[in-house]
Each structure stands twice: as structure tokens, then as C-alpha cells.
Chains A and B, each alone.
Chain A
Amino acid sequence: MVQSVIILITALLQRPRHEAKPFTSLASCHIISSLDGTLRPCHERKMSTAPVVRFENVGLRYGIGSEVLRDVTFSLEPGSFHFLTGPSGAGKSSLLKLLYLAQRPSRGLISLFGEDVVTLKRDALPPLRRRIGVVFQEFRLLNHLSAYENVALPLRISGARESEIRGHVQELLAWVGLADRMHATPPTLSGGEQQRLAIARAVIGRPDLLVADEPTGNVDPDMAYRLMHLFYELNKLGTTTIVASHDMHLIERMTNAHIMRLEKGELTTIGRPATPSAYAAVRSSSPLSLFT
């Protein structure tokens, strides 16, 4: 029951939008809720209200085992922010794998950006995948490439120009605190550093959908909060975000995110954001220039 929305263009930057969508060429917008007057993330790309992700009675089994996901039904609205929680082994990673197209469901219907994933041809997958940023639980960095090259990779795959890549990658690496580790290869980085690198790689292309699997498991609470902020900044620009985490402390701090709880392969609760105050708190802390 939205009463009215005012679209506020907060930044309209010089360069036209590029395929690789570098951060500095963004036009970002916010929706001010007439109810409480606070800023809410909005979708500035397409103002369409069709869900970015839609699951209907999705089931997944590996091989001949029992179903690790059962009758999962939900949808993610454009520009929404979700936490996916649940005990270890509940099937969080499996659900996210379906989302980032690493796995096809055993049954049910999945649509991504309005496309039916189950019947999609193989050739149609890469363009869809380029719209999805993924933080893998086990990072999956390319060990033969430097930190810089790892982060640059999504832009390279999208065919961005080298001149554009350098600035964005350096800025983002600085933001995640890896500026001085730019030329290091992942095996020489600590677990926390690898995690930050994985996050930087996932967000560099400013994806339409961000899928993060336990992205703050290896960092201290302050860094975790900082990284969440990065996700929020991106979400603010319209990136639909889903973060698997069982860090309840962190989830509590992010009170305006939706909460989905998975237990033994079944979606038990889909919680609404309580108050947007925590989000407002996040916003007021150090803004990231490359997002604004």
C-alpha cells in the first residue's frame, strides 16, 4: 500500500552508461517514502515492478539423494535487499546456486529477469550471468591472477576498455582495503583479504542481481559492517541483493533488509524490514565515492 513516491535524482553523471556499467557513470536515485520521509533504495534501471527473481515450488536434489530444497516459493522485487539465514546444511548455498545459474532445479519454476531459467538455452546463459554478481562461499578467486586482475575480470569479460577498468578497480580495491595488495595473488592473501577481494570482484560490474554466500564469515565485525555498507551502496543504485548469512548480529544491525529463513530445505519465514533506521545509519557513515 504505497501512498506516493517521489523520485529524486541525486546524481546524474557525465558519461553515458557503458555495457560494463562502471561505477562513476551511474545515475542513482532514491525513493523517499512519504510515510517516514527516509531514503529507500529504488530501481533506477527499469522502473518495472516485475520481480527480478521468482521461484515457484522449486525442488532440488543432488543425484539420487533426498531433496535439499523443497517447494521453495518466493520472489525478489527489483532493488530489494534480502538476508537468507538458516542453520548450516539448510540449503542456503544450494538455493543461491540456483540463483546464479550454477545449477538447474530438479522441479519447479525459476525465472530471472523475467526469463524462464529452466527452459533457457545454454547460449543464453552468459548474458544473464553477466548481470549477476556472485560472492562464492569459498571465494573461488583465480589463483594465477593478481588481486587487481581478479577484480578486473568481470569488466574484461564484458568488454570494457582498459582505461575505464584501471580507475574503477583501483578505487574499489582501496575501498575494501586492498590497495597495497593489488599485485598479490590470492594464495598469498589472508582469508579475510580473499573474502574482500571476492566481494570486490562481485560488485565491480555493478550487477543487476548480487548473490553473496556468507560474505562476512572471515572478517571482523567492523569490516563486516563496512562490506555490508558496500552492498547497501550498490543496492541503493538498484542492485537486487541477496546475502546468505547466519551472523544474526549483523542481520539485526541491518534492520531494513528482508529476511528469508531456510530450514531443512524449506523456506519458513519471509520477514519484512522492521524500521529503516539502521539503514539510515549505514548511509550516514563514510560514503563511497565510486557509487555516488
Chain B
Amino acid sequence: MRLLPDAKESYGILPWVIAVMVYLCALAIAGGFGLRGAASGWTADLAQKATLQISAPDSAIRDKMANLALTAVTHLDGVANAQLVSKAQIASLLEPWLGVGNVTDDLPVPALIDITLTSNASNVQLAAIETQIKAIVPSARLDTHQQWLGELTTLTQSIGWTANLIVLLVALATVAIVAFGTRGGLSSHRPTIEILHMMGAPDVLIANEFQRRFLIQGLIGGVLGLVAGLITIIGLGWLAQRAGQGLIASVSLSPFVWICLLLLPVFAAALTMLTARITVFRALREIL
């Protein structure tokens, strides 16, 4: 039996509001975790790499020094593999900036040696590599990507925190909206609630009624929002993959994140229900 009549107004808007909230949360969670995952992929890749730069005004001397450095570096501790970046590769890297055909031999381009480090290479070893190479080729410079990686980590962490903040703010906004809606529902049902009170119905009976309604609305809204969110996430993922083939390490979500996303409607419904329940109890205390 329905203790309270169905109120059209409360059934109208709330599921849509919850849907929007869940949608935003889904995007924030997927974005935050997805980016963090991708960044840690890049970090792992780049942490294994270092680049040795050898510059000299004369290209012949530069090439000789590069070969010297290459043979030297291959045998150092912490180095798994070293490879000279070919002229053609350098040219193709520079062409987008300088224009096709403008990368000529007389351009003072440094020679580059790609170094793959052993997986357990430490900072001490990197410093040792640099000193030892400098002893042979003083103009050599070891670029370990450390600074860039640090900045990247800061960026992705900030994005992650922003995503968390968004989820928190959305949850707070949901609580506020649901509390507001519950108060509205209570005042529109005020005459009925008074009669129920006079008949000795305890607050918990009325709270249960509201709780049940808001749970249903929260679930409907949550599922709607999640479906829209999943479509967006999968769509964006597909676009990212197409745009960044090879370049961007794959943006993929861990099973943990997928479970979080699928549980979002449950969380939303639970939050809605609890908020409604607490609001009803607090509001009813103001009536005799």
C-alpha cells in the first residue's frame, strides 16, 4: 500500500538530474584514471630511455665522435642497448619544423644516440655513464628525460586530483539537490503526513516511504547516466586510438575502473536514498 500519493513533480526531474550527475562522474573517473594509466605507460617507456647528444661544428668530426661514443657507451654498466639515430630519421624528425628538403648536411645538427637502459638502472649509473662518456667525448650530453617526466607526472597527478574533486563536488551537489527535492516532496505531502502522524505512524514509516521512492529514482537516473557515460567513454577511447596509433601509448582502463563505473548507479542510488532518509528525519522533527 502506498502511504503517500504519487506526486508527479518529484518523479519528473530527479532521475534526469541524477543521470547528469552520474554521467559527469563517469567521465571524470574515466578521464582521470585513463590519463593516469596512459601517463604511467609513457613514464615506464621513457624511464628506460636516455639520449646522448654529440654536437660539433664539423659534421665529419661529429660523426667520428658519435661512433666513438657509441662503442664506449655500449659497454657501460646499466646500458642494455645503444643505437645511433640515422641521418634519415633525424631529417624526418626535423622536417615538420624546417620544411622538406631544408635539412641539409651543413646544418649543425647534433648526432643522437638512443640508449636503452637496463630495467634496474639507477640515477647513480646514469651519472656515471655521463662522466665516462664526457671523458672520451667532452661535447657529449646525456638527456635522461627526467625533468620532462617530472613535469608530466605533476600534470597527470593534478588532472587526477581534479577528477577526484569533480566527483566529490558532483556528489555534494547531488546531496543538495536531493535534500531540496525531499523537502519539496515533504511539504507537498504535508497534509497526508500530518494525518499519518495523528494515527500514530512513526517517522521511520514515512522515511521508509520516501527512501523507497528516491532509491528507485536514483537507480533509474544512475543507469541512464551510466549508459550515456559508457557510450561517450567508449567513443572517445575509439577516437583516441585512431588518432594516436603508435604515438600515444594505448589509453585503457583497468578492470578496477570498469567496476567503479558499473557501480556508479548503485552509489548514486544509495546516496540519493540516504540523503532523502536523513532529510525526512530532520524535517519531521520540526513538526509535532
Contact = CB atoms under 8 A, between A and B. Distances in A.
Interface string A137-160: 000101111000100111011100
A157 B199 contact: yes
A129 B200 contact: yes
Contacts of A102: 194, 198, 288
Classify chain B: how many residues form its interface, as a range: 10 to 19
B30 to A, nearest CB: 43
A129 B5 contact: no
B242 interface: no
Contacts of B213: none
Contact of A157 (B2, B6, B191, B196): B196
A140 B195 contact: yes
Nearest to B285: A122
Interface string B258-280: 00000000000000000000000
Contacts of B202: 126
A157 B288 contact: no
Contacts of B199: 129-130, 134, 153-154, 157
Contacts of B124: none
Contacts of B200: 125-132, 154, 157-158
Interface string B1-16: 1101110000000000
Interface string A95-111: 00000111110000000
Interface in B78-96: none
Task: Pick from A126, A144, A152, A156 the residue with the most CB of B within 10 Å.
Answer: A126
B198 A129 contact: yes
A126 B200 CA distance: 4
Given A101-B288, A102-B288, A126-B202, A144 B2 contact: yes
A109 B157 CA distance: 66
Interface string B204-217: 01000000000000
Interface string B224-256: 000000000000000000000000000000000
Contacts of B195: 140, 142
Contacts of A145: 1-2
Interface in B1-36: 1-2, 4-6
Interface in A6-36: none
A4 to B, nearest CB: 38
Interface string B167-211: 000000000000000000000000110111111111001000000
A156 B288 contact: no
Contacts of A103: 288
Nearest to A156: B1
Nearest to B4: A144
Nearest to A207: B200
Contacts of A134: 198-199
Contacts of B6: 144
Nearest to A131: B200
Contacts of B205: 157
B198 A144 contact: no
Nearest to A103: B288
17 contacts: A122-B288, A126-B202, A129-B200, A130-B199, A130-B200, A132-B200, A134-B199, A142-B5, A142-B195, A144-B4, A144-B5, A144-B6, A149-B1, A156-B1, A157-B200, A157-B205, A158-B200
Interface of A: 100-104, 122, 125-132, 134, 136, 140, 142-145, 149, 152-154, 156-158
